[in-house]
Structure 1
Amino acid sequence: MNQEESVYYDVIIVGAGPSGISTSIKLKQLAMAKKIDISICIIEKSSSLGSHILSGAIVDITSIKELLPNLAIEESGLFTIVKEEKFLYLRQNKYFNIPSFLLPDCLKNDGCYITRLGHLVEWMGKEAKTLGVDIFTGFAAIDLLYNSKDEVCGIKTGSFGLDREGKKTNYFQPGLNILSKHTVLAEGSRGNLGKKVIEHFNLSKGKNQQKYAIGIKELWKIDHNKSRPGLVIHTIGWPLYNKANGGAFLYNMNNDLVSLGMIIDLNYSNPWLSPFKEFQSYKIHNLIHNILKNGKRLSYGAKSITMGGLLSLPKLYFKGGILIGCDAGFLNSSRLKGIHTAVKSGIIAAESIMESMLKDSIIKNNELVIYSKKFKESSLHAELKKSRNFKQWSSKHKLISLLMTLLEQKILAGHFFWNLHSKKSDNSFLNPANSIDKIVYQDPDNKITFDIESSIFLSNIHYEKNEPIHLKINNTEIPMLINLRNYAGPESRYCPAGVYKFIKDENGKYKLHINSDNCLHCKTCDIKDVTQNISWTPPQGGSGPIYNGM
């Protein structure tokens, strides 16, 4: 096959995360109830369901129970109920417990469960397939298809068998054009097609700048006598202090497993900061070190998190399609939860698509306006409205942030007097390197703390030999003229996989070396690069990390 082929589905969903799979399940449920047939296809770039998924993860199960009311939560083996929780302020050698009465309700986890999201997504995918949804893993959606009316009419998948220069090899297979009346973008944070469609249709006009964080996570198996399934620990303070906004977590699951990680807002200003090394420093604290001591690290990964909330949400619909889940930015950053919001957005999307199929007249200019209307009438909108100023408060002093969140969400129940605005993008916050003292990090001990090389080995990264580089540098001179000269090459530190390194050539001049085979698809470079000169694009389908229940 040397020419692109085209296939048609009623609905094409890009991304087999919680929002995309939920959309497909709900659509099939509604179609069965109405006794109508609907063809649905999900395109997923990872080699298998859940292998690119990474999250903490504590899940509010309300949306999952709405979607799958017969799911036996306790018996499924997918969840560990939260039994006990602590919110701690860390100093370097000690910690203080923050009393529950001082915490807003958004920081509490009553009735929630700990899960390994990759495994949950894999299970949900099987449910979708049982209902008749076609799920194709190992295929990357690389572009949108437009008709003569500038309406999205489907997507294009990437070709296989191209070499480093993009030339066809003997194994070349062209991509597919998948045509559809409804294109649902569910790619997760900083989605490639989502980014394109937001720009193409100017969907973020009049909105707050979207805000992002990087989440870094490890999965450990600890001594059985230290295991306390259901114990949730959240921390702020050390080692970040005032270097960046963020915090860390440690979740105790069944089978002596511990999920721990750190979330750092990407609006930090110190170019010397390394999110990876801050996370390793976190494990040096006596509290964390004692839990992990004599344990075994099983996996490592990282991803970006869309954190801006309600005031940063773009227009949710465009000609021919909609944005759902973290492709839009539905995560509730005040609760550090996005699974239930992703699932709920998928439910609302499915209901909107079904109504449009039953009654074409509700679609105006091929835009699913009813999706936005249903969202504004939903519990999801009410929840996000209550926390709409959280990210803006969190950029203030931590004490002010905590007090104002307590006032706005607990005392005023979300009825704050005004909306706080944020017009500055995360990439524009860095200060020149010569204006800030360099941060000195401890060397890893290779027992509790580790280097990047040994960490990404645990991510099971796979790329085809000599496949095209998916990290695009628009101007090859800018990294040296601006990033290295003014900011000491921050991409060599903010990347949690060691993709970017400045090396000297044979003439003694620095150049930027890109080891794209290390890429975890976290997209931090796409977000944090000072001049927005780096673009993350989907690699060949199936490439990237292969996580096991991260």
Structure 2
Amino acid sequence: MADIERESMEYDVVIVGAGPAGLSAAIRLKQLDADLNVVVLEKGSEVGAHILSGAVLDPAGLNALIPDWKERGAPITVPVKKDNFLFLGEAGSVRIPNFLMPPLMNNHGNYIVSMANVCRWMAEQAEELGVEIFPGMACSQLIYGENDELVGVVAGEFGKNPDGSIGSDYEPGMELRGKYVFLSEGARGSLSKEIIAKYDLAKDSDVAKFGLGMKEIWEVDPALHREGTVTHTMGWPLNGNAGGGSFIYHLENNQVYVGFVVHLNYANPYVFPYMEFQRFKHHPEIAKLLKGGRRVAYGARVISEGGYQSMPKAVFPGGALLGCSVGLVNLPRIKGNHNAMFSGKFAAEAAFDAIKGGRSGDELTEYNTELRTGVIAKDLKKVRNVKPLWSKLGLIASLTLGGFDMWTNTLFGLSLFGTLRHGKNDAEATGLAADHKEINYPKPDGTLSFDRLTNVSFSATNHEESQPSHLHLTDPSLPISVNLPKYAEPAQRYCPAGVYEVIDDPSTGPRFQVNFQNCVHCKTCDIKDPSQNITWVTPQGGDGPNYPNM
């Protein structure tokens, strides 16, 4: 493939990913210098097609980037009016008083939004400034220069055969080169993963940690709808099987976001995150809200949970990591979009100064310093111990000790725990099947709960079947020879889209099947596989989910 000839386009800055971080960077660059040539490449069929977030938006990042966003008609119109924190038992719930929560947990001044629609609006603002945005352009390859610096990406490659060979309708794509390349792919992006490994950017960081977030949009009975109400729950049904919890956000038009997060460091390989989500909706507190309603959309995506201590170095020769490519989610708040926007703004300012000074292809050290000392660091450092406390000591200890730690950080700027480490990564945390009991999950009823394939149809996911699978098995024999006897092959459960199956063939025995067409690009398999045998890469551009207003 090295002898493929491609057309090349030159830019000042090339940005991969039209999420809140990438679009913020593009907007800020053009605000600083209208003559800069900036391009944003998005693998989704349109901007927002692959954006999935809760989301309650802290507008701090957007206030800094576009102070007059209200006047410009941003789709941010539902302020949070009420905050609820519930601890669930199997049949009931206990409300945790708001006054016990540190001030940082207060959602006053925040908004319930569709981040897909916010990104669509941000793309309009960027294009008005002269930014070029190309959706349906998956970036499949990085381009390095003579000094091993990143100089560009290959985007828009189409028409390979299933075995990876060149097809009759092959389109080689284009090389898009820049003085700097920003990677804003979200959590566990394939290019970011390559860059972190190549330049050893995580050598001074703690292990990365993730959770799997699953979300449905429901239209509910108007009599039960409470626009602006935010509810978070913990406890049942996960209990001691895994960390995590739920979010329920009432937006406009009688719609409710119902979401569930499962921390991926669970030990029991029989845990089935998707079925935990479906079971959760049968809790009396949740079922009474959804009764008579209808689910209108579904999606899933991993969330970065490592926090401050897991942030890799964010700069390297020729580029920078933005947003969740670094891991900027404040886990207790379940918020990262504001930090993504800040990161895009700061990276843009560093690149602008560098280009103005005649530089290119070097490290934007000012950006990395800002991430670790500025407003993002202040946000993340206050909550840095909540995740490791939860992982090591469980939910109750996390609520008490983690809450205490957030209070001391807020009031005094210090932690009695220092900075705790996470320990094992999520793959290593997976235990042996022999050491755990199977979990019997109730069958979905088709009214409140649904099977995976039915729900995937509500994500509008589609992949051209004639292309190579974008889910690469390093050793195709491992799922059956190792993962099945040792871990009961957890891929058939941790995937929220039914991509992986173990098929019992009477003549040949069990075989591992990969239904890549179902993939919603959540990246769980790349993270949780105990043998680290699965690598997620980008399919051809435009393929995958097509989220309307997630």
| TM-score, normalised relative to structure 2 | 0.96
CA distance, structure 2, for counterparts of residue 402 and residue 189 of structure 1: 26
Partner of 1:52, secondary structure, is coil
Tell me if the contact between 1:433 and 1:487 (Cα under 8 Å) persists in the aligned partners. Answer: yes
- Shifted more, 532-541 versus 379-388: the winner is 379-388
Is the 1:526–1:535 Cα contact (8 Å) retained in structure 2?
Answer: yes
Distance of 2:371 and 2:75 partners within structure 1: 32
1:101 Cα offset (Å):
2.1
SS at match of 1:458: helix
Are 1:387 and 2:387 counterparts? no
| Residue in structure 1 matched with residue 471 of structure 2 by the alignment | 471
Which SS does the other structure have where 1:264 is aligned?
strand
Q: 2:236 aligns with which of 235, 238, 245?
A: 238
Map residues 109-258 of structure 1 onto 2, 5 A cutoff: 109-258=107-256
Please provide the CA RMSD for this pair: 1.5
Counterpart amino acid of residue 157 in structure 1: A
How far the C-alpha of 1:360 sits from its partner, in A, is 4.0
2-side partners of 1:404 and 1:346: how far apart?
33
Q: Structure 2: how far apart are the matches of 1:342 and 1:448? A: 34
Match of 1:428 in 2: 428
How big is each residue's C-alpha offset from its partner over 1:230-289, in whole Å with a ceiling of 9 and x where there is no partner? 011100000000100100011001100000110111000011111100000000001111
Query: Are 2:349 and 1:366 equivalent residues in the alignment?
Result: no
CA distance in 1, matches of 2:72, 2:467: 44
Select 1:406's aligned residue among 395, 403, 407.
403
Q: Secondary structure at the match of 1:428?
A: coil
Amino acid at match of 2:404: L
Amino acid at match of 2:13: V
Map of 1:70 onto structure 2: 68
Q: CA deviation at 1:332?
A: 1.2
Quickly say closer, same or farther: Cα 1:435–1:300, change in 2 above 3 A: same
1:405 maps to a residue whose letter is: G
Is the Cα–Cα contact under 8 Å of residues 270 and 436 in structure 1 kept in the other structure?
yes
Q: Which amino acid aligns with 2:31?
A: Q
Match of 1:9 in 2: 11
Give the whole-Å Cα distance in 1 for the aligned partners of 2:436 and 2:346: 47
Question: How far apart, CA to CA, are the structure 2 residues paired with 1:432 and 1:77?
Answer: 47
CA deviations on 1:324-351 (whole Å, 9 max, x unpaired) are 1000111111211011010011111111
Between the aligned partners of 2:335 and 2:71, the Cα distance in structure 1 is 18
Quick one: distance in 2 between partners of 1:267 and 1:63? 30
- Are 1:78 and 1:119, in contact at CA under 8 Å, matched by a contact in 2? no
The number of residues matched between the two structures is: 543
Say whether the 8 Å CA contact 1:222–1:256 is kept in structure 2: yes
**1:29 matched to which residue of 2?**
31
| Inter-partner Cα distance in structure 2 for 1:488 and 1:73 | 55
The 1:8–1:76 alpha-carbon spacing in structure 2 relative to 1, beyond 3 Å, is closer
Structure 1 contact 63–343 (Cα < 8 Å) conserved? yes
Does the aligned pair in 1 maintain the 2:218–2:256 contact within 8 Å?
yes
The code of the aligned residue for 2:496 comes to: P
Deviation of residue 381 (structure 1)? 1.5
Q: 2:88 aligns with which of 75, 80, 90?
A: 90
Aligned to 1:525: 525
Letter in 1 for 2:397: I
SS at 2:468's partner residue? Answer: coil
State how far apart, in whole Å, the 2-side matches of 1:14 and 1:438 are: 42
Over residues 519-549 of structure 1, what are the superposed CA-to-partner deviations in whole Å (9 max), with x where a residue is unaligned?
Answer: 0000000000001100000001100000111
CA distance in structure 1 between the aligned counterparts of 2:127 and 2:455, rounded to whole angstroms: 34
Q: How far apart, CA to CA, are the structure 2 residues paired with 1:412 and 1:133?
A: 40
**Residue in structure 1 matching 2:54, options 47, 53, 56:** 56
Match of 1:277 in 2: 275
In the aligned structure 1, how far is the partner of 2:321 from the partner of 2:18? Answer: 14
Conserved in 1, the CA contact under 8 Å of 2:221 and 2:254? yes
Deviation at 1:3, TM superposition (A): 3.0
TM-score normalised by structure 1 residue count? 0.96
1: CA distance, partners of 2:173 / 2:227? 46
| Shift in Å, 1:164 | 1.2
Aligned partners of 1:11 and 1:184 also within 8 Å: yes
Q: CA deviation at 1:78?
A: 3.1
- 3-state SS in 1 of match to 2:459: coil
Q: Distance in 1 between matches of 2:134 and 2:358?
A: 29
Residue matched to 1:20: 22
SS of 1:530's equivalent? coil
Q: Post-superposition shift, 1:504?
A: 2.8
Ranges in structure 2 where 5+ consecutive residues have no aligned partner: none
Q: 2:100, 2:90 → 1: CA distance? A: 23
CA distance in 1, matches of 2:63, 2:5: 44
**CA–CA separation in structure 2 for the residues paired with 1:302 and 1:376:** 29
Query: How far did residue 66 of structure 1 move?
Result: 1.3
1:203 is displaced (CA, Å) by: 0.4
State percent identity of aligned pairs: 39
C-alpha separation in 2, matches of 1:406 and 1:248: 18
Q: Are the counterparts in 2 of residues 298 and 458 from structure 1 also a CA contact under 8 Å?
A: yes
